[in-house]
Structure 1
Amino acid sequence: MSSDRYSQDVLASGPHPSVRRPTSRPVAAERGLVVEEVMSGWVGAVTRVEKSGGMHVVVLEDRAGRTRTFSLGPGFWVDGAPVTLTPPVTSTAPAAPTRTASGSRVVADARARVARGSRIWVEGRHDAELVEKVWGDDLRVEGVVVELLEGVDNLEEALVDFKPSKGRRVGVLVDHLVPGSKEQRITDEVLRRFPGGNVKVLGHPYVDVWQAVRPQRVGLDAWPVIDRGTEWKYGILQRLGWPAENQTDVALGWKKILGTVRSYADLEPSLLGRVEELIDFVTVTD
């Protein structure tokens, strides 16, 4: 009879109750080692081990080329036996990077600065994730917090609540900020209501921040034009031949696109300049 091998603690007993509980042995997570993560059943080859959030993680790639990340340590099987994955032993340590993903020079042994009163606001989660991936190291050194605005329609109300002032500046990154657009009209009105130089609104010309990623990163020569009446992100997913049925598909599609971004070189200059200018604005010493 078949049984669910994960319906109970797989380390609690072997096939025979009288057999002593197996003990995990330490195994270095060398590239190419095929392991199984017990809780999820995910089987894949080790592609890399890295530090994330102060802890070591291991990235496993399955036969279909999909990857998942797990915490390094116990909870894995190799060749049918429990193991504790440890960092691989390398004969020569790779040189520490000298530049951040944004191209800035790495500040050695820098700790995250206490958050400033000033903020950078972005319209949505995808904007925030892209800014974090490329400028995250710089923002932590500078003590700048990026917050979600959830749409430019909320900008005026959010500024009323925030009360910008000297030492509490707000830099806002807006999608599709082009002459004659709704976004431009809102921005003009907001800047009239909040004079004094403590609010700066900048934007890029793209319908969505996805377009700020160079299309070559996803195998396109240019981002396609989507017909009116089709929600832009769903239209893009369809053109790419990716699933496009619901918000889960949108989230997974964005994850794939974001995964192709390695540094500022994978982004369009029209976004790079705007983000750099906003960082300078909120970190200026009055």
Structure 2
Amino acid sequence: MDDRYGTDVLASGWRGHGRTESSRVPAERGLVIEVQADGFCGAVTHADAATVELEDRFGARRRFPLGPGFLVEGSHVVLVAHRPVAPQQPKRTASGSFAGPDERARVARASRILVEGRHDAELVEKVWGDDLRAEGVVVEYLEGIDRLAAMLEEEPPSERRRYGILVDHLVPGSKEARIAAEITRGRHGTNLLIVGHPEIDVWQCVRPASLGLRAWPTVPRGVDIKVGTCRALGWPSETPADLARAWRRILSAVGSYRDLEPSLLGRVEELIDYVTAAP
């Protein structure tokens, strides 16, 4: 025999023994509800924080306080205010573009972007990585523009395999400008685009303010730009490991396109457009 009082005289919950707790149901527009007290049945036409308005099949409307005392499909419910979910704002990538819903990486294209060095590639990946994966664009580094001509001979570009090439220090009279002009005039120039920024090294394409600096230091001619920069800033610069740590410090200050100079931003966007355009 079921003893609803139990054997423990101090046990809690005896008043609710055998009762089922009613579900809390939001008063959404169109939901059909029956009022337990008098049997009035209608669909929700309006609800606020305290009341709900129902309209029956004859067009009669009545308002009731929210709370218990309602039936939905024969089950007792507690009617609560409906709180619409705010629409999600579209997400932006680090480059500032809108990210597609559940965007997955695309199969790599034959066309690709080439940059001079590892640091260039890492910076492009950090800011444009999501965009590049969505477009299926691979970024490769050359270890210097001097190697570009040989690379083009080994893997020549074509109408379906175009190369977008980002060059440091692309200013009139520079070595980089001369090499770029020769290659553009050559037999591979039709299916590639060479653009660049004016800085000697990609380090200087990061806004100094993002690192708490007023400006990047001026490095004397004949001094390696990375070594000279570290020395001027008081950072260790004696070994390759020192320079690698300096770069990690710079790269960690980059959170989005806002931390980069416009002279780099526009050029990378131009290259992405070039290699993703329909042949």
| 2:169 aligned residue (165, 170, 176) | 176
Match for residue 224 of structure 2? 231
**TM-score between both structures, scaled by the size of structure 1:** 0.65
Q: Structure 1 counterpart of 2:243, which letter?
A: V
Considering only aligned residues, what root-mean-square deviation do their CA atoms show, in Å?
1.3
Match for residue 204 of structure 1? 197
1-structure distance, mates of 2:237, 2:148: 30
Q: After superposition, what is the alpha-carbon deviation per residue over 1:241-285, rounded to whole angstroms, capped at 9, x for unaligned?
A: 111111100000000000000100000000000000000000001
Tell me the CA shift for residue 229 of structure 1: 2.6
Match for residue 84 of structure 1? none
Range with greater deviation from structure 2 (257-266 or 158-167): 158-167
Match for residue 137 of structure 1? 130
2-structure distance, mates of 1:238, 1:223: 12
| 1:166 aligned residue (155, 159, 164) | 159
* Change over 3 Å in CA distance of 1:220–1:255 after alignment to 2: same
* Change over 3 Å in CA distance of 1:248–1:97 after alignment to 2: farther
Match for residue 103 of structure 2? 110
Q: After superposition, what is the alpha-carbon deviation per residue over 1:69-97, rounded to whole angstroms, capped at 9, x for unaligned?
A: xxxxxxxxxxxxxxxxxxxxxxxxxx787
Residues 1:272 and 2:265 are matched in the alignment: yes
1-structure distance, mates of 2:156, 2:224: 35
Q: Structure 1 counterpart of 2:201, which letter?
A: D
Match for residue 124 of structure 1? 117
Match for residue 278 of structure 2? 285
2-structure distance, mates of 1:170, 1:162: 10
Unaligned runs of 5+ in 2: 1-87
Unaligned runs of 5+ in 1: 1-94
Contact 2:170/2:176 (CA < 8 Å) preserved in 1?
A: yes
Match for residue 14 of structure 1? none
SS in 2 for 1:202: strand
Q: After superposition, what is the alpha-carbon deviation per residue over 1:217-254, rounded to whole angstroms, capped at 9, x for unaligned?
A: 12211111111232111111111111111110000000
Q: Structure 2 counterpart of 1:194, which letter?
A: R
Which aligned segments of 4 or more residues in structure 1 are displaced greater than 6 angstroms?
none
Q: After superposition, what is the alpha-carbon deviation per residue over 1:30-66, rounded to whole angstroms, capped at 9, x for unaligned?
A: xxxxxxxxxxxxxxxxxxxxxxxxxxxxxxxxxxxxx
2-structure distance, mates of 1:157, 1:112: 30
Match for residue 151 of structure 1? 144
**TM-score between both structures, scaled by the size of structure 2:** 0.67
Match for residue 80 of structure 2? none
Q: Structure 1 counterpart of 2:186, which letter?
A: R
Residues 1:251 and 2:244 are matched in the alignment: yes
* Change over 3 Å in CA distance of 1:108–1:210 after alignment to 2: same
* Change over 3 Å in CA distance of 1:227–1:196 after alignment to 2: closer
